[in-house]
Structure 1
Amino acid sequence: MENKKILEFLELVGRLKHVKRTGWVICDIDECESIAGHMYRMGMMTFLLTEGNDPSKLDRFRCLQIALVHDLAECIVGDITPHCGISPEEKHRQEDEAMQKIAELTGFAGDRMYELYKEYENQSSPEAKFAKDLDRYDMILQAFEYEKRENAPKRLQEFFSATEGKFQHPFIKGLVQELYSQREEFEKNTFTNGMV
């Protein structure tokens, strides 16, 4: 592995610290999260898996790795959403090409990242499915945080509607229930206090 290529890789990854997530930009959210911020919290959530809340005994390290690479291609292609007018097939093609370029920069490590990315894309393992749950959960948690920050109940309902009924892992399902409960309470309190 050449140091020159590693530096190029690290600079590409560094872009994710500054690229805002498209969904929030489209919704006019001020000071919205970056792609790296989203992946970081997904990664942190993998530490919360325990023997007690994970009956399927997932490989936590693999879950963490998938969380950290699942949006890596966005450092080259950007955050493409359904609102961008690009077909799912074209999005997949662009991201796959970007991941291959990233993998070439880092040799064996890149092969590993590409393999984990494909696993996530194909949802071909329990760990990849769990990472998908984390991806969706982080999105609705972030949406709720923005609703609270702006004191605007239900403003970002579309993100909740898009994920409804799609969560699979029991631990995440429990977190979703808690989030829904807090969101309902927030809405009730806001209307009760006559602020909306």
Structure 2
Amino acid sequence: MDQKEEEKLHQLFDFFREIDKEKLITRQTYVTGAVRMEDDAEHAWHMAVMAIMLAGYSNEKIDVLKTVFMLLIHDLVEIYAGDTYAYAGVSKEEQHEREARSADRLFGMLPDEGKKLRALWDEFERADTPEARFAHTMDNIQPMMLNDYTGGKAWKEHGVHLAQILKRNEHTAEGSETLWDYARRNFIEPHVGKEIKE
């Protein structure tokens, strides 16, 4: 192995060690049994499995591997930016600005591969491709599913109201109308006590 290849591997493994910190970022979603909150890495793994198995419900044909990779990397920026709870009242602009600075720092560790990762992260943020739209659907539905599975515990603890849930999910159907309809009827309505009307 030549020196250049050795250096490239050093950079990659430095990055791999750095992204292990994603396991330390706690979210506001309870895991099964509501025994503790999940972390970002668990969230990413769960969505990746869901995306593979639910890809047939996408409104548009998607590149599944690209979508999975997008889901696996999109929250890595929270290593530096921290998790922003969906119903915390932080503006999307403020959150994006903080996370973009984190993306610069993290993906900047890898001169070549980092550009590809940053482009994929930016694509997720823009939600302007079939893959990004479906990834957003997974990102919204996974915590909804866990919230339902834990009896609505996180929503109750945070005093989340129906209007907030609907606002948060105003674009969820753009990735999958079928999955949004299913989630609405099975994950939201049982916890808000009324049928949600469009």
Normalising by structure 2, report the TM-score: 0.72
Q: Is contact 2:21–2:79 with CA below 8 Å preserved after alignment?
A: yes
Distance 1:88 1:54 in 2: 25
The aligned residue for residue 114 of structure 1 is: 118
Shift of 1:86: 5.4
Counterpart check, 1:42 vs 2:47: yes
- SS state at 1:48 partner: helix
| Residues 157, 128 of structure 1: alpha-carbon distance in 2 compared, 3 angstrom cutoff | same
Shift of 1:98: 1.4
The aligned residue for residue 147 of structure 2 is: 143
Distance 1:54 1:123 in 2: 14
Q: Identity rate of aligned residues, in percent?
A: 20
The aligned residue for residue 134 of structure 2 is: 130
Distance 1:76 1:185 in 2: 36
Q: Which has the higher strand share?
A: 2
Tell me which of 69, 74, 89 is aligned to 2:73.
69
Q: Is contact 2:55–2:64 with CA below 8 Å preserved after alignment?
A: no
Shift of 1:55: 5.8
Distance 1:168 1:69 in 2: 22
Shift of 1:46: 1.9
Counterpart check, 1:92 vs 2:96: yes
After superposition, give the CA deviation of every residue in 1:143-189 in whole Å (9 maximum; x if it has no partner): 11221689x8xx7655744445432257x43334334444556899x
| Residues 127, 86 of structure 1: alpha-carbon distance in 2 compared, 3 angstrom cutoff | same
Tell me which of 174, 177, 183 is aligned to 2:178.
174
Higher relative contact order (CA 8 A, sep 6+): 2
- What letter corresponds to residue 44 of structure 1 in structure 2? V
- SS state at 1:175 partner: helix
Out of 80-89 and 70-79, give the one that drifted further: 80-89
Shift of 1:115: 0.3
How many residues align? The count is 179
List gaps (5 residues or longer) in structure 2: 1-6, 194-198
The aligned residue for residue 38 of structure 2 is: 33
RMSD (Å) for aligned C-alpha atoms: 3.2
Normalising by structure 1, report the TM-score: 0.73
- What letter corresponds to residue 137 of structure 1 in structure 2? I
| Residues 161, 99 of structure 1: alpha-carbon distance in 2 compared, 3 angstrom cutoff | same
Distance 1:157 1:85 in 2: 13
Q: Is contact 1:140–1:160 with CA below 8 Å preserved after alignment?
A: no
Tell me which of 1, 8, 12 is aligned to 1:6.
12
Q: Is contact 1:120–1:131 with CA below 8 Å preserved after alignment?
A: yes
